[in-house]
Amino acid sequence: MPTAVIKLSGVNAKDADSIMQQIKTIANTLGIKSRGPIPLPTKTVVQTTRKAPNSPGSHTYERWEMRIHKRMISIDGNEQILRQVMRIVVPDTVHIEISLTS
């Protein structure tokens, strides 16, 4: 039976966790084995900019940081569960990737 690996990445960890919880409940109600959700390492993107790049004066900097949270779940992939997963409303802040393996 093929296995579906679902990876989520998003800026807001609560959104990613809520989508994972919905996928987990769908798998439990249909009686399909699932493994996860597995939290993957959080990627931190840091951007340093100068506050006033054109004016003379003290060189002061601002640091902007964005964290990208990732989650993964593996479920036995039959057609019924994949259709249910595709119907989940995913917010704009979350990116979902589904891959099937044999």
Task: Read off the pLDDT band of 1 (50, 70, 90).
Answer: confident
User: What whole-number distance in Å separates Cα of residue 30 and Cα of residue 5?
Assistant: 17
Task: Read off the pLDDT band of 11 (50, 70, 90).
Answer: very high
Average pLDDT over residues 3-8: 91
What's the gap between Cα 40 and its chain centre? Answer: 9
Q: The CATH number of the domain where 44 resides is what?
A: 3.30.70.600
In three-state secondary structure terms, 22 is helix
pLDDT at 79: 83
Average pLDDT over residues 37-45: 93
- Segments forming the whole domain that contains residue 43: 3-101
**Residue pLDDT, tens place only, 85-98:** 889 898 888 999 99
Indicate the pTM of the whole model: 0.79
Give me the number of domains the chain comprises.
Answer: 1
* CB 1 within 8 Å of CB 88: no
User: What whole-number distance in Å separates Cα of residue 94 and Cα of residue 9?
Assistant: 6
